């Protein structure tokens, strides 16, 4: 996937590509294997070609089956973004591979607002806030994890940018993921 022309459209395999995405924000944290397969079949029938998914849990996701957390937590329950949980990311990679194999482009949200200090939803998820010094290593891990799937990265989701520190962190996230996955 590349940006074409006057930076006003996508190219896929060198040809213009129309982005028709469905939002399935919490698929990685909520969908069972059967639900995922049924969902992919249905969206394919409807003509969608991209899926917008949060890499990390969204604060307001429905709670159903219990899936592993993406990172190891310390004694206070805070995630260690340098210690990814292989069980979580193996599941995420398998789901992404299945979608990619059916022709979908993953459009992956790097950091939803509940993982960024100062964002309006940060207070709902205090144990899972990323620190500015963790953004670079997280970007490297994400780029390595999804390298074979030619994803589009969405840097933020549902944020308000009222806090200058939030805007600065998202800008750092944009630069970090762009460096790792240009």
DSSP-assigned beta bridge partners for residue 16: 11
pLDDT digits (tens, 9 = 90+) for 148-170: 999 999 999 888 888 999 999 99
Indicate left, alpha or beta for 138 from its phi (over 0: left) and psi (-120 to 50: alpha): alpha
Cα 131 to its chain centre, rounded Å, is 17
pLDDT for residue 67 is more than 80 = no
* pLDDT per position as a tens digit, 70-81: 999 888 888 999
pLDDT above 70 (res 103): yes
Q: How far apart are CA 59 and CA 26, in angstroms?
A: 10
Pairing of the two strands 79-84 and 71-73: antiparallel
Q: Does the pLDDT value for residue 126 go beyond 80?
A: no
Q: How far is the C-alpha of 117 from the C-alpha of 138, rounded, in Å?
A: 16
Beta bridge partners of 50: 21, 105
Residue ranges of domains in the chain, CATH in brackets: 2-180 (3.20.20.80)
Given strand 105-112, what is the order of strands in its sheet? 21-23, 50-54, 105-112, 152-157
137 Cβ contact partners less than 8 Å away, ≥ 6 residues apart: 81, 82
Contact (Cβ atoms closer than 8 angstroms) between residue 169 and residue 132: yes
pLDDT tens-digit series, residues 9-61:
999 989 999 999 999 999 999 899 999 999 999 999 999 999 999 999 987 77
The model's pTM: 0.92
């Amino acid at each position: 996937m590349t940006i074409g022309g006057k930076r006003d459209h996508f190219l896929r395999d060198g040809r213009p590509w129309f982005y028709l995405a469905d939002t399935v924000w919490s698929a990685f944290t909520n969908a069972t294997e059967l639900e995922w397969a049924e969902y992919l079949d249905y969206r394919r029938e409807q003509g969608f070609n991209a899926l917008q998914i949060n890499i990390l849990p969204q604060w307001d996701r429905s709670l159903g089956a219990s899936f592993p957390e993406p990172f190891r937590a310390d004694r206070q329950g805070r995630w260690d973004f340098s210690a990814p949980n292989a069980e979580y990311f193996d599941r995420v990679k398998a789901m992404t591979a299945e979608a990619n194999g059916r022709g979908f482009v993953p459009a992956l949200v790097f950091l939803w607002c509940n993982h960024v200090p100062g964002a309006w939803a940060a207070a709902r998820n205090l144990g899972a806030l990323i620190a500015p010094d963790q953004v670079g290593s997280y970007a490297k891990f994400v780029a390595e994890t999804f390298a074979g799937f030619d994803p589009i990265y969405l840097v933020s989701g549902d944020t308000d940018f009222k806090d200058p520190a939030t805007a600065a962190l998202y800008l750092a996230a944009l630069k970090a993921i762009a460096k790792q996955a240009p």
